[in-house]
Amino acid sequence: MDIRFAKMEGLGNDFIVLDDRDGKILNAVSYEELSKRLCSRHFGIGADGIITIGESETHDFRFTIYNSDGSRAQMCGNGMRCFAKYLYENGITSQNTMTVETDAGTVIPAIFQDDWGRVDSVRVDMGEPVFVPDRIPFTGSGERIAAQKIQTAQGEETVTVLSMGNPHAVVFVDDMADVDIERRGRALETHERFPAGTNAEFIQVLSPDELVMKVWERGAGSTLACGTGACAAVVAARLNNLSSDAATVHLDGGDLLIEWNRENNHVYKTGPARLVFTGVVPI
């Protein structure tokens, strides 16, 4: 069976987007197996994960994402921008705003076009941050886990923990050059207090309006960008009185504008998405 795919990226966080609204791909192979096969950078197309477009009974579309190791993620902010761009530019929808069903709940991307009608950027309503430990999930007590010290295999870390549809451990550092992302990130990802694992973000605050971020993603390792992680970073920085409600997050793959609207408690993320190439691959 041959399947058509689009290789897309959002700030260097790259994905293989598959239209499976008819379910033929899933009938042929599990998404878990397919993600491991296609995401291999030596033996496959190469990507941080696969994203599938599905039908939804309650929303305009269904978004499903699997990491390169075959694990299923609840949501991905960079992937959602690629998802929305693909839908619009391939004529699957003509709506500038759509409702998308994800494992993390409803996500609403809004499309902005350039002078040629192409999708220039996407603003995504990422929903509300979750602080209750059981819902993150994180083993702890209290309404919020902010600036809490935990012991890891790489030493003591001071973490602010929250969920943006997936778990995040945010660590603030004085100098990013001194951070061993792989060792410290892996130690947090697999820490026993995160029963489902976690994404780890290391943040250097430049000013209340600017943050520098490096990320270790659960199931994918070090990546150039993480949209939900950038959202978690700004929320965590605001909780620790280190940033404004809106800030630009500088990632290795580029910049994201993150806004935490305190009136409705929703977090909004604006950034680019780009088509790299399309093709056909046998499965």
**Rounded distance, CA 151 to CA 188, Å?**
9
Active-site residue identified among 39, 76, 82, 231: 76
Q: How many CB atoms lie within 10 A of CB 279?
A: 12
Residues with Cβ within 8 Å of 264's Cβ and at least 6 positions away in sequence, in order, are none
Active-site annotation holds for 82: no
Active-site annotation holds for 226: yes
Q: List, in sequence order, every residue forming a beta bridge with 159; answer none if it has no partner.
A: 148
Residue 141, class by beta-carbon neighbours within 10 Å (0-12 exposed, 13-18 middle, 19+ buried)? Answer: exposed
Q: For residues 2 and 279, is the Cβ–Cβ distance under 8 A?
A: no
Concatenated DSSP letters for 209-235?
Answer: TEEEEEEEETTTEEES--HHHHHHHHH
**Rounded distance, CA 8 to CA 277, Å?**
7
First-to-last C-alpha distance (Å) of the chain: 6
Active-site residue identified among 39, 82, 226, 231: 226
**Rounded distance, CA 160 to CA 240, Å?**
9
DSSP three-state, residue 158: strand
Q: Which residues are catalytic?
A: 76, 226
